[in-house]
Chain A
Amino acid sequence: MSVVALKPGYTGEIKDRVENFHGQQLLYIGWEDHLMFCAPLCIPVPPTLPFGALTAQIIPDLYAAHPDASAIDWSKVEWFSSSQPFTPDLSKSLADNGLGHKASLRFRTPGLTGIKGSCS
């Protein structure tokens, strides 16, 4: 049973199917230990986007307001996809890195622990 409903066989419409995003897919990005940004972010991206574009441009822009942002050493960053450790190939697309619609990507920056070390 996947719903308690008056009508037998009731199913619901998946509101956030990838087809509804005009060729884009959703990507969630969270920066570990930096909770001044209160929650992970959600952005629409093309599935063909090279992963390297995230580190070169997109993520630094998203977090530019954080004083740690300019100190990130991308070669040391640890990645997690759906909470599992993950090694991206920067030259390949998100899709080829296995990051589909509504993928949840987190990154940890060793040595950077937010404002006064408070994980803010």
Chain B
Amino acid sequence: MNMPISGKPPKKLSLKENYALLTRGLGWETSYESMDKVFPQCDFEGIKIHDWDKWEDPFRLTMDAYWKYQGEKERKLYAIVDAFQQNNGQFNVSDARYINTLKLFLTGVSPLEYGAHRGFAMAGRNFKGAGASIAAQMQAIDELRHAQTQAHTISHYNKFFHGMHDPIHMFDRVWYLSVPKSYFEDAMTAGPFEFVTAISFSFEYVLTNLLFMPFMSGAAFNGDMATVTFGFSAQSDESRHMTLGLEVVKFILEQDPANLPIVQRWLDKWFWRGYRLLALVAMMMDYMLPKRVMSWSEAWGMYFEQNGGALFNDLARYGVRMPKYHDVAAKEKDRLSHETWGIFYNYTHAAGFHTWVPEEGEMKWLSEKYPATFDKHYRPRFEYWRDQQKKGERFYNKTLPMLCQTCQIPMGFTEPDDPTKICYRESHYRDNKFHFCSDGCKDIFDFEPEKYVQSWLPVHQVYQGNCFRPGTDPTAPGFDPLLEVLKYYNFNVGKDGGEYLDSEDKKHWEQWTGKPGVSI
């Protein structure tokens, strides 16, 4: 920092100079330990980097600006959260069914924000280049902010509704939360280059627009000003993260031609893993928002096929092609939300949120949005379930499902070319059989079986006896395994999950708001 000393104040640095001093001035070549020993994770993935100085962060965000703008974002957010609470905003949402999206968000998405905080802190430590390191470090701080603002905002709902009292405990145990948990832990246990490609590029650039744009806009449409504000506040950081993701991929590809096949494999893998995870978002959009903004199928068309397609067209000059099985995702877009909602309808008695049969008007909307599939494949089962419920025999599936070894979702997805046949795939490895919901999930396993033979599949763990609280005696008279598993999850049994129409949430909603609830 050799500033000229004179009577006049020093000339203000340009954005470019300021950023260069921050990111190039902070790195150095180590002398008493070799660089390879100081950065031991930089090589084993096979990625070759010749010149870290070629790293360019297009946003060139410097620390002074970072703290200034992040501080402003926080003040804006908390002003709105305060106003929301003071105005009893929780009673002004469209309907109490909407609150179930927040339960899923808090237990399934917010812990990923915290995971991202940890993952980027580790990536920041492991990159040799200071530019990449600083970008990862800022993102680590952002992600912690997201986890905190989401917990703060949703904690207000926790005062009034069930299912939001212990998200971190649930995240580590509950069957459907193993889907996001295993997704993120897969990324965190990879090397630093795969981690940033997976999270910054494949997830944040290619896929999270589907969560944060139409879904958060949907939150606003349903009257939840608190959630839309934390969502968009997080997403404003996300724009920076997405840009980091694109830069990472371009930087790696420009460094060495041998990097292309490795990166392409990661793009294939993480597209598919992320897409499977978004099945939860698909059902939130089509089934859980009482007032709907757009269908999953429309959102997929807009954000993946158009915007994602443009991105991959641009990357074609590096030799990158569209992720494998994007065509399967296109074939599934008229089924994904219905099949996923069916899974949760089957097992909602073991979930931390409620499900329901869509009302007649909602089914009409689904028929319009899904003319090729809804009336033919899904309406008959909903009508049957509704009739059963009227007779007092609400359908619950009493037997645990078969899970996919990779994505860990119950095997409810159908063949790419036949929506009436479950898609079964299988591999043999070390004298064991492994089962998959799709070719995408099977390919991921087959490339690294030593990783995925370790999957903690909730159904199998229950049968092994590992999902009871300490001191539980499965041989005791009257032992109820399901009840004991739900206690292990720390659910309020009978209140957190099950049919919405039978729920305390619904009763309270009508009592506190005086608004009529939905009925069958």
Do chains A and B make direct contact within the complex (CB under 8 angstroms)? Answer: yes
Task: Give the shortest distance, in Å, between A64 (CB) and chain B (any CB).
Answer: 9
Q: Is the CB of B190 within 8 A of A4?
A: yes
Q: Is the CB of B397 within 8 A of A30?
A: no
When chains A and B are docked, how far (Å) is the Cα of A28 from the Cα of B74? 50
A75 within 8 A of B: no
B460 within 8 A of A: yes
Smallest Cβ-Cβ distance to B461: which chain A residue: A15
Residues of B within 8 A of A114 (CB): 380
Q: Is the CB of B191 within 8 A of A6?
A: yes
When chains A and B are docked, how far (Å) is the Cα of A5 from the Cα of B189? 9
Which one of A11, A26, A115, A119 contacts B463 once the chains associate, using CB atoms below 8 Å?
A26
Contact flags B197-236 to A (C-beta < 8 A → 1, else 0)? 0000000000000000000000000000000000000000
Q: Is the CB of B457 within 8 A of A119?
A: no
When chains A and B are docked, how far (Å) is the Cα of A101 from the Cα of B194? 34
Q: How large is the interface on B (under 10, 10 to 19, 20 to 34, 35 or more residues)?
A: 35 or more
B401 within 8 A of A: yes
Binds A, one of B38-46, B112-120, B144-152, B237-245: B38-46
Q: Is the CB of A83 within 8 A of B426?
A: yes
When chains A and B are docked, how far (Å) is the Cα of A118 from the Cα of B383? 12
Q: Is the CB of B399 within 8 A of A43?
A: yes
When chains A and B are docked, how far (Å) is the Cα of A55 from the Cα of B194? 48
When chains A and B are docked, how far (Å) is the Cα of A105 from the Cα of B377? 24
Given A104-B435, A120-B381, does the pair A39, B401 have CB atoms closer than 8 Å? yes
Residues of B within 8 A of A5 (CB): 44, 450
A3 within 8 A of B: yes
B432 within 8 A of A: yes
Residues of A within 8 A of B420 (CB): 33, 35, 119
Given A2-B448, A118-B377, A119-B377, does the pair A14, B432 have CB atoms closer than 8 Å? yes
Q: Is the CB of B412 within 8 A of A32?
A: no
Given A43-B399, A120-B384, does the pair A12, B424 have CB atoms closer than 8 Å? no
Contact flags A109-120 to B (C-beta < 8 A → 1, else 0)? 000001110111
A-B pairs with CB below 8 Å: how many?
153
Given A22-B465, A104-B433, A106-B424, does the pair A115, B450 have CB atoms closer than 8 Å? no
Smallest Cβ-Cβ distance to A62: which chain B residue: B399
Given A12-B453, A35-B342, A120-B377, does the pair A6, B399 have CB atoms closer than 8 Å? no
Q: Is the CB of B384 within 8 A of A15?
A: no
Residue of A14, A20, A104 with highest tally of chain B CB at under 10 A: A14
Residues of B within 8 A of A37 (CB): 346, 397
B430 within 8 A of A: yes
Q: Is the CB of A42 within 8 A of B381?
A: no
Residues in A1-58 with C-beta less than 8 Å from chain B: 2-6, 10-17, 20-22, 24, 26, 28, 30, 32-33, 35-44
Q: Is the CB of A40 within 8 A of B402?
A: yes
Q: Is the CB of B400 within 8 A of A4?
A: no
When chains A and B are docked, how far (Å) is the Cα of A116 from the Cα of B342? 17
Given A38-B343, A104-B426, does the pair A3, B454 have CB atoms closer than 8 Å? no
A65 within 8 A of B: yes
17 contacts between A and B (CB under 8 A): A4-B448, A6-B44, A14-B453, A15-B453, A16-B460, A26-B460, A36-B384, A36-B385, A36-B395, A38-B401, A38-B412, A41-B399, A41-B401, A42-B399, A44-B463, A120-B381, A120-B384
Known: A35-B342, A65-B395. 16 other contacts (CB 8 A): A12-B450, A16-B460, A28-B402, A32-B421, A37-B346, A38-B342, A38-B343, A38-B401, A38-B410, A39-B343, A39-B401, A40-B411, A42-B400, A83-B424, A115-B380, A120-B380
Residues of A within 8 A of B (CB): 2-6, 10-17, 20-22, 24, 26, 28, 30, 32-33, 35-44, 62, 65, 67, 82-83, 100-104, 106, 114-116, 118-120
Residues of B within 8 A of A (CB): 40-41, 44-46, 190-191, 194, 339, 342-343, 345-347, 376-378, 380-381, 384-385, 395, 397-403, 410-412, 414, 420-422, 424, 426, 430, 432-435, 448-457, 459-460, 463-465
